[in-house]
Amino acid sequence: MPLTEKLLVLAMAAQVLLAVAILVMMGRERVPRVMSGEIPMADIAVERSAYPLRARLLSNNFDNQFQLPVLFLVAALLALQVGVIGWVEVLFAWVFVALRYLHAAIHITSNHVLHRFMAYSAGLAVLVLFWLWLVGKILLAPSI
């Protein structure tokens, strides 16, 4: 497997690791509160408002890991399947993942909405460029 493919797979793994890390942090915030009876199960059966702010931020961020990152993972898998991975694709992938880590860090700490929006928007822009680049590369390739 060429180095560029390995680096793309590592970017994908880093994105998955982020989702798993957020899930673990969320569990550490939520499960003990429910197990101790601090938060009754009936209060969380339908919505999350009974949880403290940090648990809600983690939960919202975990949900967010299944929005843009899904589109990233599909693009990366398409690139792997078609075999069109070069340094540009690797760069797009790692910049996107870095911006997702930044977005998550802002979301679960200060939750400064403008900063979070800027990180999200930058990630979206990189993802759109990645997709445009990838589609162009596939459609313009002589034979794939």
Read off the CATH number of the domain in which 127 is found: 1.20.120.550
Report which secondary-structure segment, H or E, holds 20: helix 3-35
Please give the pLDDT value at position 141. Answer: 85
pLDDT over 80 (residue 143): no
Its pTM stands at 0.94
Task: Please say whether the beta carbons of 75 and 97 come within 8 A.
Answer: no
Q: Are 62 and 19 in contact, with CB atoms under 8 Å apart?
A: yes
Question: CB of 47 within 8 A of CB of 73?
Answer: no
Cβ proximity of 57 and 111 under 8 Å: yes
pLDDT at 110 over 80: yes
Per-residue pLDDT of 61-104, as tens digits, reads: 999 999 999 999 999 999 999 998 999 999 999 999 999 999 99
Residue range(s) defining the domain that contains residue 44? 3-140
**Domains in the chain, number:** 1
pLDDT at 66: 96
